[in-house]
Amino acid sequence: MQYLAIMLLFFCVQASAFQVKTIVNDEITQATISAHELSRIYVKGDRIAYVRGVEGAYTFKADQDSGAIYIKPNSSYQAKPFTLHVTTEQHSNYRLLLTPSDIPAESIVLVGMDEGKGPSVNVRSSVSVNALLSLIAHMSKEEIMPDYVIQASDNKVLVANQPNGLGKVLKKTYKGETLTGNVYELTNRGQGPIALQEAMFYQLNTKAIALSTVVLAPGQQAKLYEVIGTGHEI
């Protein structure tokens, strides 16, 4: 099933983060957790019944009131990813690939595919979440968006700061008063697979990043959706 999982990061004054991940039963979903602090994971509209994963990779405690869990990687897994299997009270089974990073505590909400369909977004902004998601959705569907001017690009290949073998071509731009959305085409021009992460494409004024896939095989293409501020946002 082709879909774009949603991931939202809201950076507040304390620099903590909130992620929203759209997930599908028995499919792997990637998320980032703090390497040194407890990260909270919960399921929208459901409760976590139990978890299992690599022995010795993490410690966790359950919040019986909310149905959430708090998880922190052990010292030997603070710099490498591990898989966590989550089963809910409504009998959903989710597989998470958790990557520890040197960041503050995270809160991660898992949203079942029926509750949250849409593009794979990674947001760090005080701008309205609905505005960011709406722009990403219109770009991913190649739809006209009210109050935005759509401009085609010259298809120039951008290679600065990209992993070896990754081609990045600007295809289209959505220009609004407070936000600008860019649609890029990514191509693996190398000999091996390239793992994609939203953080690879952050800039200083990035508000949201969306990826259509997380691994590119040689010759494969994917879409990157980027939302940046125009300097007029509140």
Residues 124-147 have pLDDT tens digits of 544 566 788 788 888 988 999 999
**Length in residues, the chain:** 234
Indicate the residue type of 151: Q
CATH architecture of structural domain 123-229: Sandwich (2.60)
pLDDT of residue 1: 33
Domain 17-113 top-level CATH class:
mainly beta
- Under 8 Å between Cβ of 161 and 167: no
- The pLDDT score that the predictor gives to residue 113 is 63
Bridge partners of 170? 184
**Do the domains 17-113 and 123-229 sit in the same CATH topology, yes or no?**
yes
Which position has the token pair 């990403």? 136
Contacts of 105 (CB under 8 A, 6+ apart): 16, 34, 37, 38, 39, 40
pLDDT category at 6 given cuts 50, 70, 90 is: very low
3-state secondary structure of 131: helix
Q: Does residue 16 surpass a pLDDT of 60?
A: no
pLDDT at 52 over 90: yes
Sheet holding 68-73, edge to edge: 17-23, 106-112, 39-43, 68-73, 58-63
- State residue 15's pLDDT score: 34
Which phi and psi angles does 200 have, rounded to 5°? -65, -20
Parse the chain into domains and list their residue ranges: 17-113, 123-229
**Encoded tokens for 146:** 């009210």
- Whose CA is closest to 196, among 219, 209, 213? 213
For the whole model, what pTM was predicted? 0.55
